[in-house]
Amino acid sequence: MLADLRMLAREAELFIADPVLRAAVLRDALAFAHLHRARLREIAADPEALRHAPDLAGTPNPPCAALDRLTARLAAAHRDDGLDGFGARALSQRLAAITLAQAGNERIAGTPLPFVYSLLIYRTIYIYCLLLPVALFAAAGWLTPVIVAIVAYVFLGLAEVSEEMSHPFGTAPNALPLDAICRAMEISLAPHLGEAAPEPLAPVEYLLS
């Protein structure tokens, strides 16, 4: 999505002659990015999203509303001969790629780890660790509890990793840094808007949000 927004800005420079329309299109694209981030993280009133698109916060699907408004701008420009057919086609294909990325992210966010999968993993680990001492005691002796504890730590740790990876858009330490990605979009689009680029987000306690 970051690459698509960068390409959208370059294609807008190529095909949209009106600087006012071009800036409006890019601002709608930034609004979409922040609204999409807020929706993935289930944040109802995200300050950055409200700053970029205060009028879209109450819509049923704010990210889609931002893309719809962007599409309406391009359609109006095409009707008024402010955008030729080749440019309209190129920009519509770019919006299609952004929409596909949006749908993919929403599918990932809306597909939790199946409960049966988690249940099977944990029950298998518990049974294995309970039976492991029987197999180890004759050879390991008093080291058996230490070995079983290490094995249990490894397998339970891997199970927790799979649980955490099933929520990649959250705010956990290992989740995707969506705030930093959106800031990278703002930095990339700032030159096309004639604005100074904001500073990249810095890690807080070695973590990017």
Non-local (6+) Cβ contacts of 10 within 8 A are 192
Count, in order, helices (H) and strands (E) of the chain.
8, 0
**pLDDT at 17 (0 to 100):** 92
157 has pLDDT over 80: yes
**pLDDT at 40 (0 to 100):** 93
Question: How much of the chain, in percent, has pLDDT values that exceed 70?
Answer: 100
- 64-87: per-residue pLDDT in tens? 999 999 999 999 999 999 899 999
Q: Are 173 and 207 in contact (CB under 8 A)?
A: yes
In whole angstroms, give the CA distance from residue 126 to residue 197: 53
E strands within 3-161? none
Token representation of residue 148: 């079983």
Q: Identify the three-state secondary structure at position 207.
A: strand
**pLDDT at 199 (0 to 100):** 93
In whole angstroms, give the CA distance from residue 61 to residue 10: 27
**pLDDT at 192 (0 to 100):** 94
**pLDDT at 144 (0 to 100):** 86
In whole angstroms, give the CA distance from residue 46 to residue 100: 23
117 has pLDDT over 90: no
Full-model pTM: 0.82
- 17-55: per-residue pLDDT in tens? 999 999 999 999 999 999 999 999 988 888 888 888 888
Token representation of residue 62: 């704010």
Name the helix (H) or strand (E) containing 120.
Answer: helix 115-140
- Model confidence band, residue 197 (pLDDT cutoffs 50, 70, 90): very high
